Amino acid sequence: MSEPGGVTPAQLRELAARAAELVDAIEAARAGLAGDSHTRHTGYRLADAAGWARQVGADLAATAEDLARLRSRGPVTCPAEWGCCPDHGGTLRSSGGRCWCVAPGCGRTWDYDRDGQPCTEPAAYEVRGVGDAPDVWGLLCAGHTITARAQVDGIEVRPLAAAAGGAR
Ligand SMILES: [Zn+2]
Ligand SMILES: [Zn+2]
């Protein structure tokens, strides 16, 4: 379980909590300055400062969630560098930190940039004929197998024979 840099989601959440404390402290200072007619105008930067600190906290929290999702991947995970719909493959669109499948009738949505992050689906098929090494069998999840079949002529696909113990 050693990870690059050893950074954990908990560490990032801790940093986000410190940013939230900073926001509170800045807001308290701002309120203190505003309560005195001699100092009222000196605090004009603090609204922006609190806003920056809020953004810092939001970015840290979002990073913690992205990292937690990656860490939760199972032992036999699809190696694709981008996410897909588990049922439809490369049919995702994303905007403003949300993602959805555009396949008719699907209706799946995700509250993160799924198509911009590595796939988190379990490997379900072995596929040959794609990528840089077309003679080698590689692993793909169900969704990415759909996309590979649609986009690449002549690929071979076989079910992954219970390599993951059937675990999902
Ligand atoms: Zn879909
Ligand atoms: Zn995949």
User: Which residues make up the environment of ion ligand 2, defined by Cβ < 5 Å?
Assistant: 78, 80, 119, 121, 141, 144
For residue range 23-76, list pLDDT tens digits in order: 999 999 999 999 888 888 899 999 999 999 999 999 999 999 888 888 776 668
| Ligand 2 centroid distance, CA of 48 (Å) | 41
CA 150 / ligand 1 centre spacing (Å): 15
Express each pLDDT in 114-151 by its tens digit.
Answer: 999 999 899 999 999 887 777 888 899 999 999 999 98
Residue in 86, 90, 114 with CA at minimum distance from that of residue 102: 90
Ligand 1 center from residue 127 Cα (angstroms): 21
Q: What is the whole-number distance in angstroms between the Cα of residue 16 and the centre of ligand 2?
A: 30
